[in-house]
């Protein structure tokens, strides 16, 4: 139910490898991002031009958003958030090019990113508050703790699940809808769906990034 021809899969078959589309395309996205980063870094100037002109507002925007949602302390986690944002956005957008498979339309890639965020929130929490971080799980008053701890545990465990499934469902569902439209009416009808695909790519990146920021901000703040 994906693009009928995927060029990295074809390359894999020629080389007799069995890696999986989502892994090879993750490597492709990584290579693309590293290439762009190296190209921009090499020609960095005070008066921006070309690619730097385009990337500076984007990085600036992400930085401002982090400052708004996470406060002053959140600036330390800019690399994590920005990397996740760039990776997800690029992998979502390559879905619209024929012959490309979006790595985010596979559960494994999304689970990897979501579990990274999940682990990071708790690592940051312990780093920031020490052992007192576990007061976060105990609720407002101490005698409520036996009730609150299981609820909080389920709430925290649902986070990576919902992050994974939301991104996966959106990207995979869009792929399937597009392919069904292509088989029904190949002429002009899939175009509005592709426009919606661009919107979905941006919105899902934004939502994933924002949720990651909110989760980290939640473990940064003091326990009530």
Partner 1 sequence: MEFFAWCMIAAGFGMAIGSFGTGLGQGLAIKSAVEGVARNPGASGKIMTIMLIGLAMIESLAIYVFVVAMIILFANPFTDTVVQLLNK
Tell me the window of 25-33, 97-105, 124-132, 170-178 that interacts with partner 1 (CB under 8 A): 170-178
Residue 181 is a binding residue for partner 1 (CB under 8 A): no
Instruction: Give dist(CA 69, CA 170) in Å, integer.
Output: 25
207 binds partner 1 (CB under 8 A): yes
203 binds partner 1 (CB under 8 A): yes
Locate all alpha helices (DSSP H) within 48-144, ordered by sequence: 51-70, 78-93, 107-129
Which CA distances in Å does 90 have to 80, 123, 187, 221? 16, 27, 27, 31
d(CA 137, CA 153): 7
- The separation between the first and the last C-alpha atoms of the chain, rounded to the nearest angstrom, is 49
Q: Residues in contact with partner 1, total (CB under 8 A)?
A: 13
Does residue number 169 form part of the binding site for partner 1 (CB under 8 A)?
yes
Which stretch in 24-32, 74-82, 145-153, 164-172 sits in contact with partner 1 by CB under 8 A?
Answer: 164-172
Angle between helices 78-93 and 190-220 (to 10 degrees): 170
CB 82 within 8 A of CB 62: yes
Q: Is 155 in the site for partner 1 (CB under 8 A)?
A: no
Q: Which stretch binds partner 1 (CB under 8 A): 10-18, 82-90, 162-170, 184-192?
A: 162-170
Instruction: Find the part of the chain contacting partner 1 (CB under 8 A) among 83-91, 118-126, 180-188, 205-213.
Output: 205-213
**Which two three-digit tokens encode residue 179?**
């392919």
The answer to whether 100 and 25 are in contact (CB under 8 A) is yes
**Contact flag: residue 204 with partner 1 (CB under 8 A):** yes
Nearer to partner 1, 57 or 173 (CB): 173
Q: Which stretches of the chain bind partner 1, using CB under 8 A?
A: 162, 165-166, 168-170, 172-173, 203-204, 206-207, 210
């Amino acid at each position: 139910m994906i693009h009928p021809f995927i060029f990295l899969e074809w390359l894999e078959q020629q080389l007799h490898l069995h890696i999986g589309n989502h892994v090879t395309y993750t490597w492709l996205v990584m290579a693309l991002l590293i290439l762009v980063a190296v190209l921009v870094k090499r020609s960095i100037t005070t008066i921006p031009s070309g690619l730097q002109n385009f990337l500076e507002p984007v990085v600036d925007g992400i930085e401002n958003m982090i400052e708004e949602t996470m406060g002053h302390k959140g600036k330390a986690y800019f690399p994590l958030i920005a990397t996740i944002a760039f990776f997800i956005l690029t992998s979502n957008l390559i879905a619209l090019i024929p012959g490309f498979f979006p790595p985010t339309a596979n559960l494994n890639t999304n689970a990897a990113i979501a579990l990274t965020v999940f682990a990071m929130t708790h690592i940051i929490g312990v780093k920031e508050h020490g052992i007192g971080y576990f007061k976060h799980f105990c609720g407002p008053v101490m005698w409520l703790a036996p009730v609150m701890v299981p609820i909080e545990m389920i709430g925290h465990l649902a986070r990576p699940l919902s992050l994974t499934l939301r991104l996966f469902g959106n990207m995979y569902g869009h792929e399937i809808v597009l392919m069904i439209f292509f088989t029904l009416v190949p002429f002009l009808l899939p175009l509005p769906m592709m426009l919606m695909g661009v919107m979905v790519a941006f919105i899902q990146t934004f939502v994933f990034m924002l949720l990651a920021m909110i989760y980290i901000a939640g473990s940064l703040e003091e326990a009530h």
